[in-house]
């Protein structure tokens, strides 16, 4: 058997000689098998682009320990006696790595036969002859190894994708499918997500389109490898609007609604694609701006009147689609982005009597008096947001949690609270997006900019676009 991964070879004798070896992992192929026609012994063959012939290590009686605590993350370490090397495996496919470790365990115990889940080369097995898929080019390799392979029964039990479109197809013990990477549950009209889904450690794509979901469990935030979350055609906005109808301000919505608690922990750095279209959403909280790895955000066909002011703080965002909403303006922080495309079609047109720029504070007050001097609470809150901290009521008083949830982001990207100015300006979406999709004949929508200082106000006046 062979796997492709990154391997760091660590010589354990170097520290005793006051020497430091290379600590860089190299793209490699790691094979396990026997030398053809030479010896019944099992060897590990390690090949890289620099060493296409590879280094071979005897297995039986030579493996001191195998560290597998993080095998589910594609990491393991094989400790050898002679030479005193540690083969530190990284970035391996978790499924292939576990199969490799299983064959290695059987080889160590001398059970390399079909009964133990592995099979010795019988003329039909693959040969590891230097055709390393991690290595470009060809070379004549002296070490030819008959590769030990996992049994077909073991490989057939690996299930990576599951699509459920009928209740009869839904597995009763979903949590047992630990190897699932893609799960589709479509058209079942479920209103709550089975918490077993949150116990699938390798899940990368979760497709829940065409259901009746009103919320998601907080445990989804623990899915370390989740890359795509598809929630189109659900009812995430219905429950929110019914429980919050008595509240008039959007800030109270941000501070009291817990329907977005799943945007936390590990999913914050893993999620790349989020589809919330067709959900009757009336607002999207600033919480969504925690998804710093997000590249695609789809919010089409909702009832949004404004977007989170902090969208411009998503450094990796490349596609933003907000068509068919009720947006009156775009957030000013978008100026910080470099989008590949933005879709703002089918939104209300700009009122012809609106003159831009338009200052949204009393004419009798000067900008300096409106800004005032930030309080100590606001200064501390700005710093907490800048550091990316997300304290809960367990950490600080609840009124401070509420205060933090009312954060707005300046056009410069910095957070602000009461000490801020609001201004409507005209900004061409082509200044931050390569491709702009909008309704035929529609003007550029106005931009609502929050300003944290007088210098930001001056910059906006001198360079409004």
Q: What percent of the chain is predicted at pLDDT more than 90? A: 49
Using DSSP, state whether 107 is helix, strand or coil. Answer: helix
Q: Are 447 and 427 in contact (CB under 8 A)?
A: yes
- 285-312: per-residue pLDDT in tens? 999 999 999 999 999 999 999 999 999 9
Q: Which residue has the higher pLDDT, 34 or 22?
A: 34
Q: Which residues belong to CATH 3.80.10.10 in the chain?
A: 161-304
Q: What is the mean pLDDT of residues 221-243?
A: 84
Position 250 scores a pLDDT of: 41
| 17 class by beta-carbon count within 10 Å (0-12 exposed, 13-18 middle, 19+ buried) | exposed
How far apart CA 300 and CA 297 sit, in angstroms, is 9
- 187-217: per-residue pLDDT in tens? 999 999 999 999 998 899 999 999 999 999 9
- Say how many CA atoms lie within 13 Å of 149 toward its Cβ: 14
Give the chain's mean pLDDT: 83
The third-level CATH classification (topology) of the domain covering 2-155 is: PH-domain like (2.30.29)
Which of 426-445 are b and which e, b meaning 16 or more Cβ less than 10 Å from the residue's Cβ?
Answer: bbebeebbeebebeeeeebb
Statement: residue 252 has pLDDT above 80: no
DSSP bridge partners of 66:
78
Query: What is the DSSP pairing of strand 182-185 with strand 145-147?
Result: unpaired
Position 244 scores a pLDDT of: 45
* Banded pLDDT at 464 (limits 50, 70, 90): low
Q: What percent of the chain is predicted at pLDDT more than 70? A: 81
Statement: residue 258 has pLDDT above 90: no
**CA 401, 402, 403: angle at the middle one, nearest 5?**
90
- 15-32: per-residue pLDDT in tens? 766 666 566 888 888 988
- 342-371: per-residue pLDDT in tens? 999 999 876 644 677 888 888 888 999 999
Strongest mean pLDDT among 58-67, 139-148, 289-298: 289-298
Statement: residue 93 has pLDDT above 50: yes
Position 137 scores a pLDDT of: 39
Statement: residue 155 has pLDDT above 80: no
Domain 161-304 has CATH 3.30.2350.10: no
Position 22 scores a pLDDT of: 62
**CA 112, 156, 31: angle at the middle one, nearest 5?**
45
Cα-to-chain-centroid distance, residue 194: 21
pTM exceeds cut of 0.75: no
Position 120 scores a pLDDT of: 34
Q: Which residues belong to CATH 2.30.29.180 in the chain?
A: 2-155
Position 450 scores a pLDDT of: 93
């Amino acid at each position: 058997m062979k796997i492709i991964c990154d391997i760091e070879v660590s010589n354990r004798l170097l520290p005793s000689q006051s020497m430091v070896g290379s600590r860089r992992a190299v793209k490699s192929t790691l094979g396990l098998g026997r030398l053809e026609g030479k010896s019944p012994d099992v060897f590990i063959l390690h090949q890289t682009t620099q060493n296409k012939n590879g280094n071979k290590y005897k297995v039986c009686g030579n493996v001191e320990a195998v560290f597998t605590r993080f095998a589910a993350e594609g990491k393991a370490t094989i400790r050898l006696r002679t030479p005193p090397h540690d083969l530190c495996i990284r970035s391996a496919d978790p499924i292939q790595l576990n199969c490799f470790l299983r064959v290695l365990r059987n080889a160590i115990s001398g059970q390399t036969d079909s009964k133990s889940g592995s099979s010795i080369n019988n003329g039909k097995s693959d040969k590891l002859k230097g055709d390393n898929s991690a290595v470009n080019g060809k070379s004549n390799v002296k070490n030819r190894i008959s590769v030990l392979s996992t049994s077909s029964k073991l490989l057939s039990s690996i299930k990576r994708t599951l699509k459920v479109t009928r209740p009869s197809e839904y597995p009763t013990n979903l949590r047992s499918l630990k190897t699932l990477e893609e799960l589709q549950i479509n058209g079942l009209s479920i209103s709550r997500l089975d918490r077993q889904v949150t116990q699938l450690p390798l899940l990368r794509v979760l497709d829940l389109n065409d259901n009746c979901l009103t919320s998601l469990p907080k445990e989804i935030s623990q899915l370390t490898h989740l890359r795509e979350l598809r929630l189109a055609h659900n009812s995430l906005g219905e429950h929110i609007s019914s429980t919050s109808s008595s509240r008039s301000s959007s800030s109270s919505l941000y501070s009291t609604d817990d329907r977005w608690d799943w945007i936390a922990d590990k999913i914050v750095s893993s999620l790349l694609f989020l589809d919330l279209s067709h959900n009757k959403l009336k607002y999207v909280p600033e919480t969504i701006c925690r998804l710093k790895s997000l590249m695609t955000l789809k919010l089409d066909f909702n009832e949004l009147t404004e977007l989170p002011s902090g969208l411009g703080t998503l450094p990796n965002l490349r596609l933003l689609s907000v068509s068919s909403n009720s947006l009156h303006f775009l957030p000013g922080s978008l100026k910080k982005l470099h989008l590949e495309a933005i879709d703002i079609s089918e939104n209300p047109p700009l009122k012809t009597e609106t003159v831009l720029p338009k200052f949204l504070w009393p004419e009798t007050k000067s900008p300096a008096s409106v800004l005032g001097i930030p309080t100590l609470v606001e200064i501390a809150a700005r710093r907490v947001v800048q550091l990316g901290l997300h304290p809960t009521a367990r950490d600080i008083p609840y009124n401070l949690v509420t205060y933090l949830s009312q954060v707005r982001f300046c056009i410069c990207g910095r957070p602000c609270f009461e000490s801020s100015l609001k201004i409507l300006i005209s900004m061409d979406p082509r200044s931050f997006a390569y491709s702009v999709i909008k309704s035929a004949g529609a003007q550029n929508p106005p931009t609502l900019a929050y300003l944290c200082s007088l210098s930001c106000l001056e910059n906006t006046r001198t360079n409004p676009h």
